[in-house]
Amino acid sequence: MPLAKALELAQEYDLDLVEVAANARPPVCKLMDYGKFKYESAMKAREARKNQAHTVIKEMKLRPKIDPHDYDTKKGHVVRFLKQGDKVKITIMFRGREQSRPELGFRLLQRLASDVEELGFIESNPKQDGRNMIMVLGPHKKKTEAMAEAREAQAARKAGRQGGASEESADSTAEAPAEASSEA
């Protein structure tokens, strides 16, 4: 169709003439409401960004001579981070004479990795970096899966609280008439 006729047709229907494939011979054009098209594509892009998960690397710092209770506390933090779908960078800091015994830090990192192996895997093996030894753990679950599970658990807890409150109020109303009839 000639360009002039296509423009005339677009004005007749109160639409825009948009070139779809410029490299084709002849060029391909389409009649559409271009403002509406731009708005809808912007909304799709916004929705896609909203559902996108951001990769976060959490860091946990340890020392080679860590107390068992402190180790358990730090391990609990690592477990929580992995359950949330975040990566965890574990740094062991060496001071003074500790620097001559890097195998202590290596064993500690291996122990931590084996303790949390059901939640995460070793993404980068332990390596010495000056005074520090670094290892990165990655979660088995993706961030989006972890977020969905957390939302479901929160909804279940909320439903459980609301259900428990209504049962308690039903029990208290059932007891009140029984007391009144015994007094009469």
Residue reference for tokens 């993404």 = 123
Query: What pTM was estimated for this model as a whole?
Result: 0.58
In whole angstroms, give the CA distance from residue 103 to residue 117.
21
Q: How far apart, in Å, are the Cα atoms of 173 and each of 95, 166, 177?
A: 67, 11, 7
DSSP code per residue over 11-35: HHTT-EEEEEESSSSSPEEEEE-HH
Pick the CATH number of 3-37 from 2.102.10.10, 3.10.20.80, 2.40.50.100, 3.40.1260.10: 3.10.20.80
Spatial neighbors of 9 by CB under 8 A, at least 6 apart, are: 1, 31
Q: What is the mean pLDDT of the chain?
A: 84
Q: Say whether pLDDT at 181 is over 50.
A: no
pLDDT digits (tens, 9 = 90+) for 124-144: 999 998 899 999 999 987 777
Report the amino acid identity of residue 93: M
Q: Say whether pLDDT at 169 is over 60.
A: no
In whole angstroms, give the CA distance from residue 87 to residue 179.
59
In whole angstroms, give the CA distance from residue 128 to residue 115.
21
| Domain residue spans of the chain | 3-37, 57-139
For position 164, what pLDDT does the model report?
62
| CATH architecture assignment, domain 57-139 | 2-Layer Sandwich (3.30)
